[in-house]
């Protein structure tokens, strides 16, 4: 059933999420046919939003999907607006309207996941997506992979791309089970209809309320029709890493007891919240085995504190398609090249995303002030041009607690700077 490119390998992509469909779309753009096998009977994303950072927007533009995304998205004027938990005081923010496009070549958007998925899907030939195919087994027969699906169906492929998410069957078969450990944190997510949301939450702004042990992010999506909430809190004994697990508004609210009333009113207006346990997984050092490789959350599940998981899946797809296009006569070599280009970047993001869980959940005090100060343009400049003796207590803390390596990492990775792309992607 897997499509065969004229005189080329049969390419199967397991999983029709943002990563798998992006891979099919970028391959199609290179003139390479691939078949996506998705377990769900129809393509759908959960009712939740996500941030589309400039690095993802750049790839979506190449794909021809950005105009479609923009029709349903919100272009942010303000990003990383950090507010204090108890009174909403703004600790720092970035003026994206003034700087984002100039610095990073694209704007930052927020979108409903379903709209992003639909825009990417529109770039994939309909016949390349096979729904209702849950993979239940994989075998390597000679140089080809046999995929076994529920209900006794099967397919063969010369190249297999595992894009089946955090609970991937492909990853476990290829590189062994990737043990997940309990992080102690979970995410609540919910949508609030715009007419029930206060004006401050309807602004084209990504706002992060930070406080002891918790933080909550909100931004408008669906061309402003909804406000998306995503909040992080201690998980207790909740351990379900699933998009379908739910919580109650009361449980969500209880986590933010005592926070600014404007925020708790916003939570009260939410529909049924989803709940997702954040599990820890160490970065993989290898994604490729012969003609099979991994992509997106399958390859590099990361904490969502930089809003980069889907963006990295889209970047993976762009690089993978380019590598296969350049090396279609030797797919294993092309896949190794893809892996070598991508692993350093995604490993870095997995690592720093992990670190932010501490920074976003600090109690009030100088360490929290210092952490948010580092995110401001002034803070970044100060870090770059550290001048001991000319700093107040907060700044001293910033300089004293950062090693030169950490400074490099922070200036490279905080805020919009995060959005710089690998040289491999720039070359396009
Ligand atoms: C709370 C939260 C907020 C986030 N916010 C952002 C954000 O703002 N910006 C951002 O860029 N990222 C964000 N992310 C990360 C982002 O959601 C993921 O990185 C992204 O969805 C990964 O896409 P994927 O295609 O790799 O995996 P998935 O979306 O998990 O897709 C996997 C697909 O494979 C299918 N599948 C699974 N098993 C099988 C099987 N056996 N057979 C056939 N099909 C199968 C599934 O049905 C699914 O369609 C966030 C994540 C969380 C948890």
Tens of pLDDT, residues 131-175? 999 999 999 999 999 999 998 999 999 999 999 999 898 888 887
d(CA 162, CA 300): 12
- Whole-angstrom CA distances from 137 to 70, 181, 303 are 39, 25, 28
Tokens at residue 130, please?
């096979």
Is any ligand 1 atom within 6 A of the Cβ of residue 155? no
Q: Ligand 1: which atom is nearest the Cα of residue 297?
A: 26
- Report the candidate in 294, 401, 323, 311 with the shortest Cα–Cα distance to residue 349: 311
403 CA distance to ligand 1 middle (Å): 34
Instruction: Answer whether 50 contacts ligand 1 (Cβ < 6 A).
Output: yes
**What share of the chain in percent tops pLDDT 90?**
60
Residue 304 Cβ contacting ligand 1 at under 6 Å? yes
Q: Which residues contact 355 (CB under 8 A, 6 or more apart)?
A: none
Kindly give the distance from the C-alpha atom of residue 219 to the centroid of ligand 1, in angstroms, as a whole number.
20
Q: What is the DSSP letter of 136?
A: E
Helix/strand/coil percent split, the chain, to 5: 45, 25, 35
Distance from CA of residue 102 to its chain's centroid?
23
Residue nearest atom 30 in ligand 1 by C-alpha distance: 165
According to the model, what pLDDT value does residue 194 have?
A: 97
Give the separation between CA 293 and CA 287, rounded to whole angstroms. 5
Q: How many Å apart are CA 141 and CA 147, to the nearest integer? A: 10
Residue 279 Cβ contacting ligand 1 at under 6 Å: no
Distance 394 CA to ligand 1 centre (A): 38
Residues 221, 110: contact at Cβ < 8 Å? yes
- Residue 18 beta carbon below 6 angstroms from any ligand 1 atom: yes
Measured in Å, residue 381 CA sits from the centre of ligand 1 at 35
Kindly state if the Cβ of 79 falls inside 6 Å of ligand 1: no
- Distance from C-alpha of 415 to C-alpha of 53, rounded to nearest angstrom: 10
Which residues are catalytically annotated?
A: 219
Order across the sheet with 78-84: list the strands: 90-95, 78-84, 205-211, 214-221, 226-234, 181-193, 274-280
> For the segment 31-68, what is each residue's pLDDT rounded down to a tens digit?
999 999 999 998 877 778 999 998 899 899 999 999 99
CA of 272 to the centre of ligand 1 (A): 20
Q: What is the model's pTM?
A: 0.88
Query: Is 316 near ligand 1, meaning CB less than 6 Å away?
Result: no
The pLDDT of residue 409: 41
Pairing of strands 159-162, 292-294: parallel
Residue owning the nearest CA to atom 48 of ligand 1: 17
**CA 19 to ligand 1 center in whole angstroms:** 7
Question: What's the pLDDT tens digit per position in 213-253?
Answer: 999 999 999 999 999 999 999 988 888 887 788 999 999 99
Query: Which three-class secondary structure state does DSSP give residue 63?
Result: helix
Taken in order of first residue, the domains within the chain and their CATH numbers are 11-42+131-179+284-355 (3.50.50.60), 181-280 (3.30.9.30), 365-424 (no CATH)
Regarding predicted confidence, which is higher, 275 or 419? 275
Is the CB of residue 38 below 6 angstroms from any atom belonging to ligand 1?
yes
Would you say how long the chain is, in residues? 428
SS3 of residue 405 by DSSP: helix
Order of strands, sheet of 144-149, starting from the edge strand that comes earlier in the sequence:
135-141, 144-149, 154-157
Q: pLDDT digits over 387-405, tens only?
A: 433 333 333 333 233 333 4
How far CA 93 is from CA of 80, 372, 394, in Å, comes to 5, 9, 17
Instruction: Please count the other Cβ atoms lying within 10 Å of the Cβ belonging to residue 292.
Output: 26
Q: From the CB of residue 126, how many other CB atoms can be counted at a distance below 10 Å?
A: 7
Q: Whose CA is nearest to atom 50 of ligand 1?
A: 304
Contacts of 7 (CB under 8 A, 6+ apart): none
């Amino acid at each position: 059933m897997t499509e065969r490119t004229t005189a080329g390998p049969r390419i199967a992509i397991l999983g029709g999420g943002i990563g798998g469909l992006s891979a099919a779309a970028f391959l199609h753009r290179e003139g390479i046919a691939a078949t996506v096998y998705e377990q769900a009977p129809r393509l759908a994303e959960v009712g939740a939003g996500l941030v589309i950072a400039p690095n993802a927007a750049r790839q979506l533009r190449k794909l021809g999907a950005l105009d479609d995304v923009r029709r349903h998205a919100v272009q942010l004027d303000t990003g990383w607006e950090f507010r204090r938990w108890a009174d909403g005081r703004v600790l720092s923010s970035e003026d994206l309207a003034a700087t984002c496009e100039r610095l990073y070549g694209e704007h930052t958007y927020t979108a409903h996941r379903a709209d992003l998925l639909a825009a990417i899907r529109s770039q994939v030939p309909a016949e390349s997506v096979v729904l209702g195919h849950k993979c239940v087994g994989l075998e390597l027969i000679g140089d080809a992979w046999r995929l076994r699906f529920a209900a006794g169906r099967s397919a063969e492929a010369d190249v297999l791309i595992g894009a089946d998410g955090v609970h991937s069957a492909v990853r476990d078969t290829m590189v062994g089970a990737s043990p997940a450990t309990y992080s102690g944190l979970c995410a609540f997510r919910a949508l609030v209809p715009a007419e029930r949301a206060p004006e401050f939450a309807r602004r084209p702004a990504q706002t992060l309320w930070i406080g002891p042990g918790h933080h909550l992010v909100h931004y408008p999506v669906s061309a402003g029709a909804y406000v998306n909430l995503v909040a992080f809190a201690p998980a207790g004994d909740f351990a379900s890493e699933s998009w379908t697990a739910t919580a109650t508004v009361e449980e969500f609210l209880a986590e933010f007891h005592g926070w600014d009333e404007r925020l708790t009113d916003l939570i009260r207006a939410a529909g049924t919240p989803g709940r997702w346990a954040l599990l820890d997984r160490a970065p993989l050092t290898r994604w490729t085995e012969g003609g099979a490789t991994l992509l997106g959350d399958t390859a590099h599940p990361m904490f969502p504190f930089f809003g980069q998981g889907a963006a990295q899946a889209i970047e993976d797809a762009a690089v993978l398609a380019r590598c296969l296009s350049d090396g279609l006569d030797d797919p294993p070599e092309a896949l190794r090249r893809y892996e070598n280009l991508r692993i350093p970047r995604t490993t870095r993001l997995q690592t720093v995303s992990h670190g932010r869980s501490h920074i976003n959940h600090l109690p009030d005090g100088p360490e929290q002030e210092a952490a948010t100060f580092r995110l401001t343009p002034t803070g970044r400049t100060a870090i770059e041009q550290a001048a001991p003796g000319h700093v107040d207590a907060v700044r001293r803390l910033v300089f004293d607690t950062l090693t030169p390596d950490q400074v490099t990492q922070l200036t490279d990775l905080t805020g919009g700077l995060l959005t710089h792309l690998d040289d491999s992607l720039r070359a396009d």
